[in-house]
Structure formats: structure tokens, C-alpha cells
Amino acid sequence: MKLEERIAAGQLIESGDELTDEYRELLCGIIQFTANSEFMGAFAESEWIPRAPSYQRKLALIAKNQDEIGHAQMQYQLAEDLGRDREQMLTSLLAGENGFGNAFHYPADEWIDIGLLAWMLDGAAMQLQHSLMKTSYGPYARIMKRVCREEEFHIRHGEHIVREYATGSREKQERLQAGVDRWWSRAVMFFGLSDSRSEKSERMDELGIKPKTNDELRQQYFDTYVPKLRNYGIDIPDENLYYDEETEQWEYTPPDWEEFNRIVTEGGPETQARLDRRRTAFEETAWVRDALEAYDGTTANRFANNITA
Ligand SMILES: [Fe+2]
Ligand SMILES: [Fe+2]
């Protein structure tokens, strides 16, 4: 049976050898993008580890950060198994040639931003990750099962911070509202371009690589998050947002796709600083790689890009 027939019959593809060039290219593209996003998301949040407001919050944030780096590594490993070179993937990330999630190009200036990144943005990522548990490439689907289990805790950690602010002093409530005002449109855009604007969307869908489209995932997100935000007394900063009973779809102000394209291709306010931190971390850990090289040359490359965060 041909690859596409097997996918249509609901079979999981288990080996990279069975893939067509087109499938491999599309699959590696999404894996590399999600790996980069996990990686750079961790860099965004780790800035707050020294400044976490309590010991418990610090522990939770450290644990989340370790998870995110782990999610990145599992996905880089998968792309490597499919023929991409890890060194090359990380080099092109540093050179700004290979994108990552729009949200991680922006600063997290306040502690509530960390809560909102975990609650609203991991919550957005989770829509995609959850759908990828049904992707047609078996090894990717299984990685996503583990990722989703850990993401559930990240989202709860974020919601715990949000609840503290929502039920706290007037000042905290105002900071929460201002935070949502900053992050809402970024979360809406996080799913990527509208299906009508995305060239690859249809093919990814036909090949079962991405079982749900960007717009389907965005609608799911509204289903979950609009009631949750309102329940916390938060105003959603979009006066055109409403649920159309007839079409059973959320209507909303179209995001600024020009800004989105600019951010993911040229970078945003924090992109360079975060990539520089990654570069410095890599350089500062050169001695570990040198020690491994001296100990056993064959293992050095294996570890080279794992010791970075
Ligand atoms: Fe993650
Ligand atoms: Fe996460």
C-alpha cells in the first residue's frame, strides 16, 4: 500500500525509511519549529528563576524549565533520527534562520507574565500538542503523549499564579488585567496563520501530520479560555469577540498578521538578547565538552548541544 493510502486507512507510520521526501520535509519542519519553541520558551522563563517571588514558585519554575528543555531535546533527537543535523538545527536557530513561537520574542517584564506564559501560552501550545498525539508518525505521537502529561502541570502552575492575582489586592488584579491585555493577541496568533493564508496547512492535514488546522486549534482555545478568563473577572481585550450560535464559531478581530510575520521572521524586542544568552551558555560550557572529548571522543558530539541552558 502506498504511504498516503496507509495514512488514510488510519495506520501509524513507524519508520523514517517509509516516508516520502515531501512527508519527511513537512514533518521535520514542524518538529524543528516546536523544538525551537520549547527551547526558546525556556530561555524566556528562566530569566525569572532568580527573581521568583517565593521558594515554592522558584522550585516550580525550575522544574518547568527542565521539562521544556527536555521537550526540546526529545524533538531535536527525533528530527535527528529523520536525518537532520542537530548542530545545524541549533546553528540556524542562533542565526535567526529558523523560527520559533511568536510569544517567545517578547519580554516578560513582570512576574504575572510568567504566570500568563505558563497558563495562556502553554495552554495554546497544548491545543497543538494534544492534537499531535494523533499525528500519523508514530514516534512523534508517542513523544507528544509524554509532553502533554508534563504540560498539564505547567498550565496548572500558571493558573495558580493567575488565581493568586485574580483573588488578590486591587493592584494585583490590575496587573493581571494589564498582563492579559499584553498577551491576548499574542496567544491568538500563536496558532499561526489562518488556514486560508497557510500554504502548507492543507497538505499537512492530508498527510495526517497535523490532524487539526491552525484555525480549528484557535477555535478550541477560545472554547476553553474565553470562559476561564471571564470566570476570573478578566476582560478580554477584543470588543469584536463573540460566539456565533449559527456557525458555531468564535468571531474575533483578525490579528495583525503583518506583525506576526515580522516577529517570526525578523525577530522581536527580546529575540537577540535571548539568542545571545544561548550563545554565551554554549561557550561557557565548552569545558564540559572538552572534558568529554578528552575522556571519550565518540561521546562528545552526543552531548555537545545538550548542555546549554
Ligand atoms: Fe513544553
Ligand atoms: Fe510547557
- Do 46 and 309 form a contact (C-beta atoms < 8 A)? yes
Tens of pLDDT, residue by residue over 175-202, are 999 999 999 999 999 999 888 777 788 8
pTM (2 d.p.): 0.91
Task: Give residues with Cβ within 8 angstroms of 229, minimum separation 6.
Answer: 180, 236
Q: How far is the CA of 6 from the centre of ligand 1 (A)?
A: 30
Output the CATH code of domain 3-254. Answer: 1.20.1260.10
Domains of the chain: which residue ranges? 3-254
Q: How far is the CA of 128 from the centre of ligand 1 (A)?
A: 11
Residues of the chain with pLDDT under 70: 297-309
Q: What's the mean pLDDT when you consider all of the chain?
A: 92
Q: How far is the CA of 9 from the centre of ligand 1 (A)?
A: 30
Q: How far is the CA of 294 from the centre of ligand 1 (A)?
A: 33
Residue indicated by cell numbers 484557535: 218
Quick one: CA dihedral 251, 255, 257, 261, positive or negative?
negative
Which residues does residue 249 pair with via DSSP β-bridges, in sequence order? 244
Q: How far is the CA of 38 from the centre of ligand 1 (A)?
A: 5
Tens of pLDDT, residue by residue over 215-271, are 999 999 999 999 999 999 999 999 999 999 999 999 999 999 999 999 998 999 999
Q: How far is the CA of 262 from the centre of ligand 2 (A)?
A: 24
Give how far the C-alpha of residue 141 lies from the chain's centroid of Cα atoms, to the nearest Å: 16
Q: Which ligand is closest to the CA of 151, given by its number?
A: 2
Q: How far is the CA of 45 from the centre of ligand 2 (A)?
A: 10
Q: How far is the CA of 116 from the centre of ligand 2 (A)?
A: 12
